[in-house]
Structure 1
Amino acid sequence: MSLPFDEFFLARQPILGRDQHLVAFELLFRTAGATEANVTDDVAATAAVISHASQLGMDHVVGAQLAFVNVSEAALLSDYVRFLPADKVILEILETVKASPRLLTRIRELRALGFKFALDDIVAESDDFNAFVDLVDVIKVDVNAVSAEQLPALTASLRVLGKTLLAEKVETVEEFRQCLALGYEYFQGYYFARPTIMSGRTIAPSELAILQLLKLIDSKADNQTIEVAVKRDALISLNLLRLVNTAAAGGGERIDTVGQALDSLGRQQLQRWLQILLYAAPGSKVEMNLPLLQMATTRGKLLELMSLKLHPGQRAAADTAFTVGILSLTDALFSLPLGEILDTVDVAAEVRAALIERDGEFGNMLEVVELVEKATSGQPLDAALRRLNMSVKDLREIEMAAFEWLNVLAQEVN
């Protein structure tokens, strides 16, 4: 069955806990051509998605994490909201919703069924806020709309209510630190992916070892040289073997040695798993609930699948696309300029052009993914998709496949 609004895509915005691990995603549904000023179609798209939740599969979309889903008054009063799994979602009451007696009764009914609620975009207390607050579990404070001087007083007044406080639109590390000190438990925003260039920062030995391995692969070194280089670092070897034996790697028989990994996967696939290892904390195993790793790996898989959609069967191009996606956040990872990092890896000219200038087909793909992350619809996304001769429906199907792959990987390595 086709959705009433088939031309929609999905934005997943990460929500982090105090330990900076993923706890949830906010799901934002956008239709082709919709703008921030015209959200009617987005509300209808949300209704369409919710009503087909069994087809979409919430587990495929958010994996082990929770899903925050925006709901309007119409959505709350409708029957289709019950298609959502109560144990997987938190229904986010939009700031425009009024606390009518009928709606308050409906929220109580849904709470009795196991649903939890959040209040969205709180910047001050109000009559509607006071009517809703006893029925919600999470209060989301828009820190971008509250001054740094006013935030402590607002937060203190909210903390006495005993609700989980979520700071949203946190865009800088300084804002995160302030909210952390004030006692917020959840954080939403892209502060973790913002590159903070540190003067005098050098690449750590564990990071450098992986970058040197990637350089060996790119320079067409022979398998024996690569195998010896991998074996020099026991932790890299151990983590690499864990990764290549996941279902997401697509392998069949178990791989027990680095040599087998090279023979079985080939150097392009080996390169992929080394790129993922870049985002693991030095000396520790890969944790897919680290937001930067999750975001970078998602970008890589999205670009890979986009490349295969445009160029079926062209595996080399798809591997290059994955490289562009996963390297696109290394400036935030290393706190170094991206150009300096790419000099260390010695990437192909088309990869550099895509990453530095968003140039070429790979650059266009990366631009699309960045627009999707920000839930940017309307003309910018339409124009970017036209440059790739892709539809919004193509994009959504690619998203679903990428999320499913990421979920398999997370289950295997965590």
Structure 2
Amino acid sequence: MKKVGSACPVDPEASVLLHCGPWKGLREEQVQAKLSNRYNRRTVAEVEQHIEEVWAERISQEPWLFNGAKFRLFSASLAPSPSCSSLGGAGYTSHGGCNVGRGGGDAAPMEGCKTGEWRDEGCRGSGVVEGDGEVPMWQVVVGQKLQCPWRDARFPTHTEGRATAVPPLYEGGGFASVKCSCRQRGVGATPLTLQLGLTCYKDFLGTNWSRRVGALMAHGEAEFGDTQALLAQPLGVGGVLRTSDGLIVLLRRSQRVAEAPGLLDIPGGHPEPKAVCPGVSEDCIRVEQLAERAVVRELFSSISAEIRDEVNIPLSSLSEPVLLGIALNHTSAGRPSAEFYISCSLSSKEVKEFYWRGGPEAHESTDIVFLSQEEVMQLDESASLWTELCPSAKGAVMLYRLVLPDKDQEGMCSVTNANST
């Protein structure tokens, strides 16, 4: 197993939940979704009252807001590459991959493990042994050397304020990572399974974005054994967009947006349950109405639509999105976002011209910035530009550096070829 070391920045605002490095990114047919009401947020009377109070206050200030349905990420299960018999010792022998998630099951949380301690406990609880990925959030079930980065001994599963615990690190720093020595991409396999429920924007404001999020997480841990049980955890999407002349696109967020105003971001947003249920009002959408393949299709197509609307370039210029992995935004209690790589047939000059013509969401940004691949690869917490990135952009850069870069550029070529098919 390759030690990642300093290959990726370590930042308290963002971290990597999982990455698709062994496959050099995943295409739509390599991802599946499982939907159930069991994956929805847990409800408690006092928490629901708090959510309503937060919402009432917010719409009194911004009456144009509406409460849209969102997908809630409950957990994710990542299998080993089907072309390899082993991933450098990673995996639970009865499971063969890793699960990250929360809720059901009774696997032990990764509290109190010492630096350099080996953990390969597998998952205790029949649900996990069956492979449905229901294990406590942030636990990665792999046999690898881990360092626990807990910073608050009073509540070991999150740091102060809104920040939550970052995924395991190797001793000496760097993200815990599984690297596959085999160069083949699996054919006909579905390496990633996402367990999804439903949530909404109102619930996000009253939980993940609430000033009381620390107390909500403690309540969830005490009552349900799960720090995220009471949180909305809406799944977002983001796109690392690469122009035909090899530049990465960033947008300067408007000062008028509620989150990360003035900072540099990647194009992004949320997949919409409404798109899978045309003709059904937002507040009437139910899990039973959602076809699982259609949900995966919406997950992948939504990032292309966000790029079209925010950068104002035609969909016909964009390649098939390739999933890099899932990043966490710790300024909103570990809110997850699926990050994609998309190549564009337009040059940076052409993209800039389209952008300045203005698109449907032009009000969300004030400028467009281009970085070379070399500049992105050199971005770390010591770079001045790093402080200008919002958490979602930091997470995307982390994933881009983990999944695509390769000494001989073979990884980059394989993704580009996949996009052109």
TM-score (norm 2): 0.25
More helix as a share of residues? 1
More strand as a share of residues? 2
| Structure of greater Rg | 1
* Larger RCO, structure (CA 8 Å, separation 6 or more): 2
